[in-house]
Structure 1
Amino acid sequence: MTRSAFDQITVCPGVWPSPYLLDRLRPLTRRPLLVLNGWPAPGSDAFQSIARTDALLAGWKDRLDADRLSQMPALRYLGLRATSTDRVDLRYTARCGITVMPIHGYGDVGNVEFVIEALLRHARHGGDTRTELAGKRLGLVGYGNVGAAVARVAMALGMTVAFHTPTPRPGPPDGPQWATLADVLRNADYVSFHSPAYRHVAALADLRLIAPGALVVITTLGLPAPCADFRSWQQSRTGPVVLDLCAADGLPDDLAALPGVRIHDLYAARTAESVRRAEHRIVANLEANLSLL
């Protein structure tokens, strides 16, 4: 018989739930919805309540290691308001039969628009002379859905686009072309990183191939290079590095204060539209999983 509700749905702080989402969740839980402002301290009422949790919703900032997950022995479903599962102990969830459901694509448009906006702003206001993007070379490190969409827009603006992924992926003659990391970085007027979350895909020697005055845009989760390499590189160049709050997650204060480092006080992917898309998918995943229990 199909269940009509979970026993206890708990919402972690990283979900940033809207009133709309909370209203959609309440009919799906038998016990009152538990919305956390932080991870509860042992012995607290909230700590006792999470032990009954069979459905947990979390965001990319919520750390869910084995210790925390073990505090919810009834947990059977973990829904992520995120694409990345890097902060979830997947070995634990697999061992305990916990279904983990991330969501994909909800923030792609916002990310793409942020990157293109940064390129346009730099072309128009980044130097003594207003320039055009047409005819300039864009290097993409990473080529998932967001990277490919950035490439399409950039090419529509007349840019030449090359991308790097660990495995060669030849593109069409009139489209973006795969190149080695060294070639992508050394030949670009603009560089945008779209590599996996918290993955160091470039070292100091790679970064130093980027033209000293080139604009670099980073919207990955965490820096795509070790902090020490990033520090040495940026200290020796004149070009700006634009980051959103995802890229700046965990960034040491001295790196954030380096000349040329520009941190925008926003999450590139977070728009009114992306929030609604994400929340629709969170609820749809919950309902689909409920029907299987």
Structure 2
Amino acid sequence: MTKVMLLENIHESASERLAEAGLQVDRRAGALAGGELHEVLAANELIGIRSATHLHAEDIRHAANLLSIGCFCIGTSQVDLAAATAAGIPVFNAPFSNTRSVAELVVSEAVMLLRRIPEKNTLAHAGKWAKGAAGAFEARGKTLAIVGYGNIGSQVGVLAEAMGMRVVYYDVQPRLSLGSAKAAGSLADAVAHADVVTLHVPATPRTRNMIDATVLAAFKRGAMLINASRGSVVDIAALAQALRDGRVGGAAIDVFPSEPKSNKDAFVSELQNLPNVLLTPHIGGSTEEAQQNIGVEVAAKLVNYLTTGATIGAVNFPEVDPGPVDCPARLLNVHGNAPGALAALNTLLAREGINIAGQHLETRGTTGYVVTDLDKAPSAELEQALAALPGVLRLRVLRRDEAGAAS
């Protein structure tokens, strides 16, 4: 029976979906690293993680039997995707399931910052009565700058416009605006006149510390900053100084350059104890609805890959959707994208008298993935010969009489 390990309190909806497919599911509450992680990787064919478990190249080398990785979240920066691809392991995530949850948090934080709720809340808890309108504003009529106008950013814009905010956005890719949102020509143009700036970009070398002292200096004085994207996007030291100087009037930060591995570990940030600052523990997508949807979405992708070889939605793999296995056997071959790979595969099949009922080939970068439906199951000797072909990274056979279980 195929074994699956789910880490970091992944929603029960994932366990239910995987168990329905006949898989053996084990769960652990926290993240793993080092030797413990290596043991889990060696003992399971599928693994599910969230953002705290990091799979480096060295970890993946301990995963000889691992077929696929499920990231039960939006981002996949916690996985060495190049190492996973080189090992023939597709990585799946849930890019859309928590969009609404993050968007709602961002818009509500914008309102709270504009009303100076964080500092007034702190004062009230300290027994101080700070009633007054000075420095508190309505969201209506204010300008929201969205940096990164993808699935979440555009949804934030729709919600903000419904509250009467003006929306501008900046993205490195041309994006069709929703509602009355206007595209800015540059990052500096986007932030220059905004009352609130919200970030929705991925973690890449290009976005690392993209909000630094220079960009913060271009902010409209007293503007608010919200980051619910990735912790590496903001220079925290520069933001802390801008808050102290009054250049930035408030901030809501949900992600940090360094985050605790578990709820038992201490959290330390330069932004602690600053007025009008909301600090939340990476909970942008942490709603029951989002986690349930993520569990279902990623688990379905893992099951689909396991039982049919489909890689639709994989972030690091050629995408193939071959449909159900309706032939005696299906051959899944991951290989280097080089001339002759397909010919060598088909030649061996022909020598064994196996006819090809259907074949799907896609390539992505240096990786090729071919799914071949066969009129009869290959022998163990043929499987070994196919796996030994030059450039083959991984080979797997699905047999119809085994209900698509991995052989």
Aligned to 2:285: 269
Match of 2:181 among 170, 175, 184: 175
The alpha carbon displacement at 1:287 in A equals 1.6
Describe the SS at the equivalent of 1:240.
strand
Aligned counterparts, 1:130-209, within 5 A: 131-169=137-175, 171=177, 174-197=180-203, 199-200=207-208, 201-209=210-218
Deviates most, 122-131 or 264-273:
122-131
Match of 2:10 among 12, 17, 37: 17
**Alpha-carbon distance in structure 1 between the residues aligned to 2:229 and 2:141:** 26
**Alpha-carbon distance in structure 1 between the residues aligned to 2:179 and 2:72:** 37
Aligned to 1:229: 238
Gaps of 5+ in 1: none
RMSD: 2.8
Contact 2:31 2:52 in 1 (8 A): no
Describe the SS at the equivalent of 1:284.
helix
The count of aligned residue pairs is 283
Deviates most, 31-40 or 220-229:
31-40
Describe the SS at the equivalent of 2:249.
coil
Deviates most, 151-160 or 196-205:
196-205
Contact 1:171 1:178 in 2 (8 A): no
**Alpha-carbon distance in structure 1 between the residues aligned to 2:7 and 2:184:** 40
Is 1:287 the counterpart of 2:287 in the alignment?
no
**Alpha-carbon distance in structure 1 between the residues aligned to 2:229 and 2:306:** 32
The alpha carbon displacement at 1:171 in A equals 4.3
Following superposition, which runs of at least 4 residues in structure 1 exceed 6 angstroms of deviation? Answer: none
**Alpha-carbon distance in structure 2 between the residues aligned to 1:287 and 1:77:** 10
Contact 2:148 2:199 in 1 (8 A): yes
Aligned to 2:78: 87
Gaps of 5+ in 2: 118-132, 260-266, 310-397, 399-407
Distance 1:231-1:130 versus aligned 2 partners, 3 A rule: closer
Is 1:74 the counterpart of 2:65 in the alignment?
yes
The alpha carbon displacement at 1:106 in A equals 1.0
Aligned to 1:39: 32
Is 1:214 the counterpart of 2:220 in the alignment?
no
The higher radius of gyration belongs to 2
What amino acid maps onto 1:51 in structure 2?
A
What amino acid maps onto 1:39 in structure 2?
L
What is the TM-score when the length of structure 2 is the normalising length?
Answer: 0.62
Describe the SS at the equivalent of 2:296.
helix
What amino acid maps onto 1:10 in structure 2?
M
Contact 1:52 1:73 in 2 (8 A): no
Q: Identity over the aligned pairs, expressed in percent? A: 22
What amino acid maps onto 1:114 in structure 2?
L
The alpha carbon displacement at 1:260 in A equals 3.8
The alpha carbon displacement at 1:118 in A equals 1.6
**Alpha-carbon distance in structure 1 between the residues aligned to 2:235 and 2:282:** 23
**Alpha-carbon distance in structure 1 between the residues aligned to 2:103 and 2:31:** 31
What amino acid maps onto 2:28 in structure 1?
V
